[in-house]
Structure 1
Amino acid sequence: MATAAVTSVNSLEVGESIPPSTVHAVSVSLPTWKANVGYEEGEEWVLSKMKTGYPRFFVHKSIQAFQASIVSKHGHHGEETMLFPSHAIAVRCVEFFKRQAPEMDPTQLRILDLVPNSPQARQEEFDIISPKVSAVFFPQNTFPIAKSFWQHTGDGISSRRAEYCHGLFQNGVLVDTNVASSKDSSLVIKGPRRYRRATSVELNGGANGSASCVAETSDPTHQFVEERFGRNLDISMTKNVKCAVRRRIAGSLTANVDLQDALALENDTERTRKVAGFSEDDVYLYSCGMNAIYNTYRYMSSRKPGLKSIVYGFPYIDTLKIAEKFGCGCQFYGFGSSEELDDLEQRLKNGERFMSLFTEFPGNPLLKSPDLERIRALADKYDFCVVVDETVGNFLNVNVLPYADVAVSSLTKVFSGDSNVMGGSAILNPKGRCYSSLKKIWEDDYVDHHWAEDTIFLERNSRDFVSRIDRINANAEAICDVLREHPRVKQVNYPKYSPTRPFYDKCRNPGGGYGGLLSATFYSKQDAVAFFDNLDTVKGPSLGTNFTLSSPYVILAHYNELDWCASYGVEADLVRVSVGLEDTSKLVNIFCHALEAIPQ
């Protein structure tokens, strides 16, 4: 596979990127239970070693460097900044500040828009990639508010955009929009070669051949990994690449194909998504999965302003935070049970109304599947939209679109697999009762901010998406069998063995499996720690990687609300495993060894 080799956990240190030596990796090594707790507690022995982190929780170092340069040149004393790809998003960040801290003096918030003072020699390149950045300045002591907006919405710039734009900024090409009117054609600055040639990721000199045009965040090893395991198309192919990615998400590609074959398919080719009239034109790309969820929530709010939303089933943390912080509140059903649907139905009969229902299929980390058929019937009867996050199930295993108005997904996960790029998607159901109104909202407001080079990585990584799924499904079932047979394992959570399996099977495609994500609980914390610390997989945040990736998920995602999690049956000592493509017998031996380490 394309991913850089991942070695034994014993040789992958705290804070190393996963995969190793990958500048834009989306996971980071936290190889022991103690390291995970230390990260959450902010202990220096962990934080000082962090080369990277999950991109919505850890501000990538290339972004940090770019922010520091902007503050140095344009900031005032005591200010910090957060960077976004457009002025409109920066405005939404300012509005979020005002809602979260109404006591703030609004003059303490300001926006700086940076745009290319385009030399003619680079106009074609700039037209393709649109290297614009909007900086929101705020007082340093209000950083947690900015970080909250950045994390929940996924609206921040990507590390690759930061790397590229920082180089422009340092060379005077990316400037305040108020001084960008002069078109100085004498500014002939060549961009990074990876934007101009199909196989190179070398750093190119600046205008005088001495200054790098890219922020100095990469070493030669990182450059090699990005070249060998990432990009292989010229930036001029961006439009075609985005089309190919959208066609894969649409389900029109049912075999491994390269870019040319993907583009040769007709728009109405038979798809795995069995919805009449569905088109790749109903697929929208986003910077990450949470950004797809956030913008979908925003559009739902504009369709039916003033109404609460519903979050059904124990959700990924930021989905619930969006519903709580960005709208009119949320009716939360954390168990995802039939009794909670009974309660919802009674509320609806009593006249209560909602704008939308958000759910995951299956949920994370308990892998329960919602009753989408019943939810769809309630939505049609009482006029609310249904948004289904299909990230964990993935559309090759399940087809949730007939029950959803919008299906959202994190392309960062199994669609990419290589753990080196972020992406997300939202797709509209043309047979959904809300389709006409939603389509108009999307067409009027949607802007594709997925950075061109990120899309190039995503397209390349996803070429073998189809063939990877069967292997991952089979490996996950083998690991479940090992865990389920061990007397010290209390519970294994997996869609195949869940009491909600009938709901999963209603949506399962012919030949589809039960996915690559599972979790397990133990009879004591001591047992969980012993198992985890002796589990010879890489360990860190994220899921859907081509290699098996494990984490004490509840500790990482909900450290400050463990009692709240427990009230919904989500135990603090749960271990989550995202199963990869390794040899099945090797994986079985790894898990057996970890189980043998549990004290008898």
Structure 2
Amino acid sequence: MTVSIQNENDIEVGESIPPMTAHAVSVSLPTWKANVGYEEGEDWVVKSMKTGYPRFFIHKSIEAFANAIVSKHGQSGERAMLFPTHVIAERCRNFITSRVSGAEQLVRIVDLVPISEKARSEELTIISPRVSAVLFPQEHFPVAKQFWQHSGDGVSSRRAEYCHGLFVEGVLVESSTINISSRPCKGPRRYQNKASIDLGKPVDKSNSHTEPQDPTQFVEERFGRNLDISKTRNAKLAVRRRIAGSLTADVGLTEAISAQPDVNHDEKHGGRSEDDVYLYPCGMSSIFNAHRNLMATKGPLKSIVYGFPYIDTLKIVEKFSPGALFYGFGSSKELDDLETRLEGGQRFLALFCEFPGNPQLRSPDLERIHALADKYDFYVVVDETIGNFLNVNVLPYADIVVSSLTKIFSGDSNVMGGSLVLNPKGKYYKELKHTWSQDYEDHHWAEDSIFLERNSRDFVSRIERINTNAEAICNVLRAHPRVKNVYYPKYSETRTHYDNCRTPKGGYGGLLSVTFHSQADSITFFDQLDSSKGPSLGTNFTLSSPYVILAHYGELDWCASWGVEADLVRVSVGLEEPSKLVSTFQRALDALSR
């Protein structure tokens, strides 16, 4: 079954967003019915899906590699989950065995490493292609999938694709066999050319015989600019500098690396330094590892989740610690309750919150939270993904700031990434810095880092445009009589808290949500809205979804108890021409009267 929509942005059910993008992080669910069908597991949706959001949908490149590993090293009826290291795989194994009785002898790890030092090319030395597979009976897949989703520490699709090639060639082998000799491997052919992606120079192929280029690869590599793996370290440094705020203009890699640090940087950016920026495979990995390392530093205490959170933040605290104290409204009354508990002697590990929250865009009172944390000895972890560090500076009120680089920092919807920043002026900085120096390993895959750096070069100018577009859309929605609420930081009752952290040139972000007085109006508006429609946010193009249906379908009553309506439509505003974007939303609203 296919869905026919007379829209410019008509993308079939299950197609990647953007279309023909091999490593896209969103998937088209273009109607309300398609979103419900996905949640209900209906074949016409599920069997059409070429991809999906990576923590919820195992990318086909990852699945193919996992199946190949099971075929060679597994047994009938087994499946595999793939992770960058043995340590992470062991965490997955422990998660499964702690929840499945008698599974200790049934879950094992297969470590795949390059066959020998002699077989390693310069490229393999740079990227260190290793994969650890957790093999388990297939009936335990739902449990293993929970760890994959919550931790965010699984391999990326690019890592799987690359390492699968080495595995097929016999260069990536089970670790106990590394003494076997083999010919050197230079890696997959498309990465052997050394044209610089940083200068955008095409490879000279006039005297070479080349294979036909796959169209998805052509789009992915942006018209022929090949990946130069040797740029990996510099790409990661440039990304960390952008996150630290030391790069405040649109610059390429060469300028980013050669730029001299701003002597006034610490004062202007609250002490944020590139040395305190850590990269992770995705934003949820940043949160998962923040929580894990805080427990390692202070002990396994309960944490506080303040404000209605993105689904996995609460799940992490509930499943990987003694539990959570949840304040889903993010209100001052809840902070009063917290203060009463603290005065009564209750103690907590950390408070996790988003700034602003998703999907109601409420901003927590970070000033008061910071004061309570300082007095009663708990950490503060702030997820700034939606606000983003060009619009807001939350570091002065936090011990740790996390962000999903998959979103607006990248914008292109074709790469995953996450960041974590320690506050060097925070009360607990020394002990946290020690923990991270002992524990941290950079698992962000080389190719992903190169795409992330390239995508983020125009981050500054994109944010300005998106801020402006989002406010224009809010104005259109707020003026319509059938609209019940428009959620946006500028129009929230918590705007004062947002403005307290807003940077001098900062705006109110690119995410907004809208509710209507009837479900029928929500459905009509969504179905008629001429935008891309699927999971994720922060894309360079406008992307919308019935967010609560998509993220909380199995717990809609629970959401309602916290004031989050099932029929809410969330919109991530893109870079489209402003007047065209306004017309697009006006047409969808006009459909409510027909």
> Per the shorter chain, which TM-score range?
over 0.9
1:158 aligns with 2:156: yes
| Equivalent residue number for residue 85 of structure 1 | 84
| Equivalent residue number for residue 114 of structure 1 | 112
- Distance in 1 (CA, whole Å) between partners of 2:317 and 2:157 is 27
Give the direction of change, closer, same or farther, for the CA distance of 1:587–1:136 in structure 2 (3 Å limit).
same
Matches within 5 A, 1:70-219: 70-101=69-100, 103-118=101-116, 120=118, 122-184=120-182, 186-188=183-185, 190-198=187-195
User: Is the Cα contact below 8 Å between 1:275 and 1:431 reproduced in 2?
Assistant: no
Q: Pick from 474, 483, 494: which aligns with 2:488?
A: 494
- Write the deviation string for residues 328-347 of structure 1: whole angstroms up to 9, x where unpaired: 10000000000000000000
Paired amino acid for 2:355: F
| Equivalent residue number for residue 323 of structure 2 | 329
User: Is the partner of 1:441 in helix, strand or coil?
Assistant: helix
Structure 1 residue 98: deviation in Å? 2.2
- Distance in 2 (CA, whole Å) between partners of 1:100 and 1:393 is 36
User: Is the Cα contact below 8 Å between 1:285 and 1:423 reproduced in 2?
Assistant: yes
1:226 aligns with 2:220: yes
User: Is the partner of 1:106 in helix, strand or coil?
Assistant: coil
Structure 1 residue 560: deviation in Å? 0.2
- Write the deviation string for residues 240-295 of structure 1: whole angstroms up to 9, x where unpaired: 11100000000011110111111112345544874555321000000000000000
User: Is the partner of 1:506 in helix, strand or coil?
Assistant: helix
TM score, norm. by length of structure 2: 0.95
User: Is the partner of 1:598 in helix, strand or coil?
Assistant: helix
Structure 1 residue 97: deviation in Å? 1.1
- Distance in 2 (CA, whole Å) between partners of 1:524 and 1:393 is 29
User: Is the Cα contact below 8 Å between 1:9 and 1:539 reproduced in 2?
Assistant: no
Q: CA RMSD in A?
A: 2.0
Matches within 5 A, 1:469-548: 469-548=463-542
| Equivalent residue number for residue 27 of structure 1 | 26
User: Is the Cα contact below 8 Å between 1:230 and 1:460 reproduced in 2?
Assistant: no
- Distance in 2 (CA, whole Å) between partners of 1:187 and 1:395 is 44
1:314 aligns with 2:308: yes
- Write the deviation string for residues 410-431 of structure 1: whole angstroms up to 9, x where unpaired: 0000000000000000000001
Give the direction of change, closer, same or farther, for the CA distance of 1:441–1:340 in structure 2 (3 Å limit).
same
Q: Which runs of 5+ in 1 are unaligned?
A: 1-6, 203-208, 213-217
- Distance in 2 (CA, whole Å) between partners of 1:163 and 1:530 is 40
Paired amino acid for 2:128: S
- Distance in 2 (CA, whole Å) between partners of 1:461 and 1:10 is 22
Structure 1 residue 473: deviation in Å? 0.4
| Equivalent residue number for residue 449 of structure 2 | 455
User: Is the partner of 1:388 in helix, strand or coil?
Assistant: strand
User: Is the partner of 1:108 in helix, strand or coil?
Assistant: coil
Give the direction of change, closer, same or farther, for the CA distance of 1:318–1:130 in structure 2 (3 Å limit).
same
- The alignment-based identity, stated in percent, is 68
Matches within 5 A, 1:428-447: 428-447=422-441
Structure 1 residue 183: deviation in Å? 4.2
| Equivalent residue number for residue 286 of structure 1 | 280
User: Is the partner of 1:377 in helix, strand or coil?
Assistant: helix
User: Is the partner of 2:135 in helix, strand or coil?
Assistant: strand
Paired amino acid for 1:361: F
| Equivalent residue number for residue 341 of structure 1 | 335
User: Is the partner of 1:515 in helix, strand or coil?
Assistant: coil
User: Is the partner of 2:30 in helix, strand or coil?
Assistant: coil
User: Is the Cα contact below 8 Å between 2:193 and 2:226 reproduced in 1?
Assistant: no
Structure 1 residue 223: deviation in Å? 1.3
- Distance in 2 (CA, whole Å) between partners of 1:576 and 1:424 is 22
| Equivalent residue number for residue 364 of structure 2 | 370
| Equivalent residue number for residue 585 of structure 2 | 591
User: Is the partner of 1:228 in helix, strand or coil?
Assistant: coil
Paired amino acid for 1:142: H
Give the direction of change, closer, same or farther, for the CA distance of 1:121–1:84 in structure 2 (3 Å limit).
closer
- Distance in 1 (CA, whole Å) between partners of 2:427 and 2:576 is 43
Structure 1 residue 359: deviation in Å? 0.2
- Distance in 2 (CA, whole Å) between partners of 1:393 and 1:190 is 39
| Equivalent residue number for residue 419 of structure 1 | 413
| Equivalent residue number for residue 459 of structure 2 | 465
| Equivalent residue number for residue 13 of structure 1 | 12
Structure 1 residue 126: deviation in Å? 1.3
User: Is the partner of 1:253 in helix, strand or coil?
Assistant: coil
User: Is the Cα contact below 8 Å between 1:274 and 1:399 reproduced in 2?
Assistant: no
- Write the deviation string for residues 502-540 of structure 1: whole angstroms up to 9, x where unpaired: 000000011210000000000111000000000000000
Give the direction of change, closer, same or farther, for the CA distance of 1:371–1:276 in structure 2 (3 Å limit).
closer
1:381 aligns with 2:384: no
User: Is the Cα contact below 8 Å between 1:56 and 1:151 reproduced in 2?
Assistant: yes
Structure 1 residue 105: deviation in Å? 3.1
Paired amino acid for 2:79: E
- Write the deviation string for residues 308-333 of structure 1: whole angstroms up to 9, x where unpaired: 00000000000000000001100000
Paired amino acid for 1:317: I
User: Is the Cα contact below 8 Å between 1:119 and 1:188 reproduced in 2?
Assistant: no
1:66 aligns with 2:70: no
User: Is the Cα contact below 8 Å between 1:363 and 1:392 reproduced in 2?
Assistant: yes
User: Is the partner of 1:285 in helix, strand or coil?
Assistant: strand
- Write the deviation string for residues 334-373 of structure 1: whole angstroms up to 9, x where unpaired: 0000000000000000000001000000000000000000
Q: Which runs of 5+ in 2 are unaligned?
A: 1-5, 203-208
- Distance in 1 (CA, whole Å) between partners of 2:560 and 2:223 is 41
Give the direction of change, closer, same or farther, for the CA distance of 1:416–1:53 in structure 2 (3 Å limit).
same
Q: Structure 1 stretches (4+) deviating beyond 6 angstroms?
A: 199-202
User: Is the Cα contact below 8 Å between 2:96 and 2:103 reproduced in 1?
Assistant: no
Paired amino acid for 2:189: P
- Distance in 2 (CA, whole Å) between partners of 1:475 and 1:27 is 22
- Write the deviation string for residues 426-461 of structure 1: whole angstroms up to 9, x where unpaired: 000001001011000000000000000000000000
| Equivalent residue number for residue 240 of structure 1 | 234
